[in-house]
Chains A and B, each alone.
Chain A
């Protein structure tokens, strides 16, 4: 513990001595609209990043966080322009640089890990070629490591890096000879065969061509017991530099891709999302920039993958002494990863400071709101209930009633041995998307199905909605098997079981006015006349806390959260018993997400609804669910009450999911 504190102090001392790597002062960015109006995307934003430091910019969509980062990189999209303020990199003003001069900075001084791993790799090029492009564009020396002064100084503690030659990479050609020489040296040092075999095993794993350098080899040998001089002789003789291909493989394996040499020859479509993001990290770090800008690098990935990738990125940048400007919408994630947090709201910096301090004592009302709403922060529920005072009592009452109901109420929906197989193109065997899943939803409660992408959770939802027929197994609604529902009966079932879908931009017909959208279910079921339907629409809008004036508007005029509230109003139109929310809040900003969850919670308390809540986000589950079903690869992994799952998870997979919740272990308090 004291050792790490010492390291931290030493680092801070050096950072202080070197001054900030990036200093942004009063940055102003404007976009010009079609009718020549200026929109101020960033207003007077100031922040700084020190060498080797992680700084996070946190904010909701449209807060200007990505725009600020892109302004630093000189890559503002469209009509965006820096209209004021200064951006200094290593003390030099770069805000007004010509595109050509900027080009020299990007890659070598500043790297980028973009947000969407799916669209940021060129699909017609091999992964290796894309890494090579980055190396070539900056004229990188592929035979030697480029380490920042900071990393050198910190690493200098362990072993003195004397000359530049000590940073020569291992080449794949010379690897066998190196292993032989290492074996001989170990033998000469008097190690037993068994010990040698063990050490060699480790070396084989660690000495990656194009990634590990000469002094590391020497260091490893010395630590294994070989005499200093002998170790250096071996290292000097057998580590003489890598080729371009070695370096590419080295970079990819550094980013955490196993079997990197083979991977380098593959195309992006052969990679999963996580692997693509790793390749993008390799590209971003290829030229050893001093500053890496990571723009929501993991928001498109599953939480467990996100954790792995960020852990790895952290280790890498610490080793290289790279500073990271980390853009995220997730406060918990920011606090967990960065030392310094900058909170942005509507283009302005509203609060900044050491991350734990900002989180524990938020001062600006916006930050307070964010902290209160962040689902990933462990103590959220208690605090929000406490804060809401009166509401808290109602919440408790509802819970008590809920618990009471849990015991005696019947099951409104029961799923028995549900299985669904899909035929995959060009494959003979069927793919089991859902494999023997059984559970039941108790009346008036919320059951959450949690799983990562591809776990089959949405397929289950579609089968319960009878939008998809199961291969085998049954869905029972109110004691009746829904497989037999037809005509009148099916219409009746549809009336009582309503969905709310994930994509707020897709679930409302863009050609329908809000009024028509909400009225649609009433028309389909031929309920009421024109006048009574209009009255009902007004009631429903009031229920989801939207003004009546919204009736004449169209979905494209509303925000994601507002559209989702309209979708809820539509689902409520027929007074259903069950609402199936398929990732209904996943695409929303935290504050809006919190608002929609509260709305759902209130509606449940008021109308005694039962929810089936499909989500990938365990943090959300805690806020809304009474029972949890965890799914993985189509199978049900764990099924228990929410408290049990969170407090005593039984399965390893559930524990992994819980561990991966960003900021889950941070302790918070609200002033």
Chain B
């Protein structure tokens, strides 16, 4: 053994004459470079889950705070409009047509003599409920179809994906006009929700299908199968929870766009009847007054813009917080 060692040293000497200046042997003093245990686990750091982590990120995001305050405020207005105005929005007196602001009516009156402020307040309920209902239906329907397509693959996927493609190919407005024409007489907001959901589930299905496909091929899923879990159990226990994040992001971001779509439909006169107060309808009614009395057009538009912006910003913040790429070990 010692012979061998000295032979090695000989060899070493021959190979490396002398270290070059600045490359002499250096060993850092141990007190300056303390050694930690291999694969040390810092137990002092409190445990967090993915959701808790996301919440920590969100809590510190000013954009999230502002947009969620706005969203909460809009919800309160939608739920309890009576708190904000005592005026009945449908009690319109033609005598007041285009009157300016006065006590109790801070934003004046529109062409029909309706109180603009009351309309803006009551319009929130329609817009928000259409947005939320559509989002729920779209998420459930699109999520279900997307999950089935991604999970089963093969011919199931082929058929479902072609159906999605067909719905994608129909122009939204044209389709919505056709659907809404079928319920011309109804004044319920459900018909608009229905029209929006019919064309909205497609994007959701595609997103969920993609994330299910991705989650399906992850190793923990294979590991679980090898443990004896059934594929269907895996779908509910592993795959769906892991594809929730993109669906949530998609849902929050599109909620705003459904509100805009409702406004578009109402603006075109094919959405809600004039008996239902909505921002889209108000904007539509105020359109001829753009040059003469722009404030009547301005207020519902502003309410719509702020609400939609708040929802989209909220979705953006949620996306940033849930984005797995920004999260490292």
Contact = CB atoms under 8 A, between A and B. Distances in A.
A256 to B, nearest CB: 26
Given A350-B33, A520-B227, A562 B220 contact: no
Interface residues of B, number: 56
Nearest to A501: B219
Contacts of A349: 26, 28
Contacts of A546: 41
A273 interface: no
Nearest to B230: A524
Interface stretch (B16-24, B87-95, B164-172): B16-24
Given A553-B47, A562-B41, A467 B228 contact: no
B68 interface: no
Contact of A353 (B26, B32, B224): B26
A340 B23 contact: yes
Given A365-B30, A499-B226, A521-B228, A557 B48 contact: yes
A559 interface: yes
Interface stretch (B7-15, B124-132, B274-282): B7-15
A16 B242 contact: no
Contact of B227 (A23, A339, A351, A494): A494
A509 B242 contact: yes
B228 A495 contact: yes
B236 to A, nearest CB: 12
A558 to B, nearest CB: 7
B35 A366 contact: yes
B174 interface: no
B27 interface: yes
Interface string A491-534: 10011011101110111111101000000110011000000000
A12 B20 contact: yes
Interface in B137-155: none
B242 A556 contact: no
Interface stretch (A105-113, A297-305, A356-364, A406-414): A356-364
B5 to A, nearest CB: 5
A570 B223 contact: yes
A301 B35 CA distance: 31
Nearest to B53: A556
B223 A357 contact: no
A364 B30 contact: yes
Nearest to B22: A48
Nearest to A492: B228
Contact of A20 (B22, B33, B41): B22
A561 B39 contact: yes
Given A356-B12, A499-B226, A351 B27 contact: yes
* Chief secondary structure at chain A's binding surface: mixed
B55 to A, nearest CB: 13
Interface in B39-71: 39, 41, 43, 45, 47-50, 53, 60
B26 A352 contact: yes
A603 to B, nearest CB: 17
Interface string B307-319: 0000000000000
B23 A352 contact: yes
B74 to A, nearest CB: 29
Contacts of A556: 50, 53, 327-329
A444 B53 CA distance: 43
A521 B15 CA distance: 56
Contacts of A567: 223
Interface residues of A, number: 80
A356 B19 CA distance: 12
A18 to B, nearest CB: 10
A15 B39 CA distance: 40
Which of A346, A369, A554, A560 has the most chain B CB within a 10 Å cutoff? A554
A354 B19 contact: yes
Contact of A559 (B24, B35, B47, B329): B329
A491 B21 contact: no
A498 B329 contact: no
Contacts of B9: 360
A358 B32 CA distance: 19
B228 A491 contact: yes
A151 interface: no
A77 interface: no
Contact of A524 (B20, B22, B229, B324): B229
Nearest to B324: A510
B225 interface: yes
Contact of A23 (B4, B22, B27, B33): B22
A356 B16 contact: yes
Nearest to A574: B227
B17 A9 contact: yes
A23 B30 CA distance: 24
Which 8 pairs, one residue from A and one from B, show the smallest C-beta to C-beta distance? A494-B228, A353-B25, A506-B219, A553-B47, A363-B27, A561-B39, A507-B219, A509-B220
21 contacts: A12-B20, A20-B22, A351-B28, A352-B23, A353-B23, A354-B16, A358-B25, A497-B226, A498-B226, A506-B218, A510-B324, A524-B227, A524-B229, A524-B233, A554-B49, A556-B50, A558-B329, A559-B329, A570-B223, A574-B227, A592-B38
Interface of A: 5, 8-9, 12, 15-16, 19-20, 23, 35, 48, 50, 53, 339-340, 345-346, 348-354, 356-358, 360, 363-366, 369, 465, 467, 490-491, 494-495, 497-499, 501-503, 505-511, 513, 520-521, 524-525, 546-547, 549-550, 552-554, 556-562, 567, 570, 574, 591-592, 594-595, 667, 669
Given A369-B38, A554-B47, 12 more contacts: A48-B20, A349-B28, A351-B26, A352-B25, A498-B226, A509-B238, A521-B227, A524-B233, A556-B328, A557-B329, A562-B39, A592-B38
